[in-house]
Amino acid sequence: NLNYTLETAIDKAEKSSQAKSEFLSTMSHEIRTPLNAVIGMTNLLIMSNPRPDQTENLEILKFSASNLLAIVNDVLDFNKIESGKIVFENIRFNLVELMNSICGGQSIKAHEKGLDFKLLVDDVLQNKVIIGDPTRITQVIFNLVSNAIKFTKQGCITVRVALFEDRHDRVTIHFSVKDTGIGIEPDSLDAIFEPFTQESVTTTRQYGGTGLGLAIVKRLLELKGVKMQVNSQPGQGSEFSFNMEFLVSTEVPVESS
Ligand code: ADP
């Protein structure tokens, strides 16, 4: 019976996909715990006043372990999204404060590379408290800004957050991350959002990375019904932008004394 065979095949495929996703999730968790211990212990050693040459080696150890942790976290997140296990939170937060905290560390990184860094936020957003998932917003912006810095040799990174539409109880915010970097070939514009895909083998060799960042960003935005726009000119730079709607909190903010 053809129907029966098809159903058995689908059932088997679903079970195997579930097993794969559970395996990935368990493995990633198991790797994360010891890695966090390695990073924690390395930090303690760095603070214990070692010799300068030891400090240098410890910084390399910390950098490599942190990179590995970022990769494991990406795999874990991608797996969570693919298996439909991601849950968005609805928390009150101030977008300006969030953007400042995301971009603080990133602007230091850009300056270390000799790049200018601008965070331009609409004044009207200063006192607005919106409702959404700050962790996921951070993940999206952090990925875009990290890429912008990574793929730019000179010039400027500009992060813009603007009020696109205000309907009192909800707002639409325009987010944009622009760089003056290597740009992306028109043929590759779709492929870069696919998991484990980088523009070319040369990219992997020169810049590292797993090719999971944009796949995660795209899927997170899609789950919120948001589409990412990319404008890019090879050799000139790229701009990643999107509009997202948020509920505005009507609760009066608690005055700090
Ligand atoms: P990763 O950064 O780990 O390679 P991503 O999914 O974040 O993975 O990006 C996929 C690919 O898209 C990158 O390898 C690069 O080829 C291209 N890319 C992403 N952002 C930029 C950018 N701002 N400028 C140029 N190329 C980019």
Task: Give, using CA atoms, the residue closest to atom 11 of ligand 1.
Answer: 198
Is the shortest distance between the CB of 242 and ligand 1 below 6 Å? Answer: no
In whole angstroms, what is the distance from residue 124 CA to residue 173 CA? 11
- What is this model's ipTM? 0.97
In whole angstroms, what is the distance from residue 88 CA to residue 197 CA? 26
- Are 243 and 221 spatial neighbours (Cβ–Cβ below 8 Å)? no
Q: What pLDDT is recorded for position 26? A: 86
Residue 254 pLDDT exceeds 60: no
Is the shortest distance between the CB of 157 and ligand 1 below 6 Å? Answer: no
CA of 219 to the centre of ligand 1 (A): 15
CA of 159 to the centre of ligand 1 (A): 17
Q: 197: how many CB neighbours lie within 10 A of its CB?
A: 16
- The partner residues of 163 in beta bridges, in order of sequence, read 173
Range 23-30 average pLDDT? 84
* Lowest pLDDT segment from 1-5, 85-89, 245-249, 250-254: 250-254
Is the shortest distance between the CB of 210 and ligand 1 below 6 Å? Answer: yes
pLDDT tens digits for range 61-76: 998 898 889 888 888 8
Task: Tokens for 111, please give them.
Answer: 């300056």
Range 157-179 average pLDDT? 96
Q: What pLDDT is recorded for position 70? A: 86
In whole angstroms, what is the distance from residue 198 CA to residue 116 CA? 25
CA of 196 to the centre of ligand 1 (A): 10
Length of the chain: 257
- Hey, what's the torsion of the CAs at 39, 40, 42, 48, to 10 degrees? 160
Task: Tokens for 133, please give them.
Answer: 């998932």
Is the shortest distance between the CB of 148 and ligand 1 below 6 Å? Answer: yes
In this prediction the pTM is: 0.84
Q: What pLDDT is recorded for position 82? A: 86
Among 151, 156, 159, 206, which is best to mutate for testing ligand 1, by the most ligand atoms less than 8 A from CB? 151
Instruction: Share the mean pLDDT of the chain.
Output: 90
Q: What pLDDT is recorded for position 257? A: 46
SS (H, E, C) the chain: CHHHHHHHHHHHHHHHHHHHHHHHHHHHHHHHHHHHHHHHHHHHHHHCCCCHHHHHHHHHHHHHHHHHHHHHHHHHHHHHHHCCCCCCCCEEECHHHHHHHHHHHHHHHHHHCCCEEEEEECHHHCCCCEEECHHHHHHHHHHHHHHHHHCCCCCEEEEEEEEEEECCCEEEEEEEEECCCCCCCHHHCCHHHCCCCCCCHHHHHHHCCCCCHHHHHHHHHHHCCCCCEEEEECCCEEEEEEEEEEEECCCCCCCCC
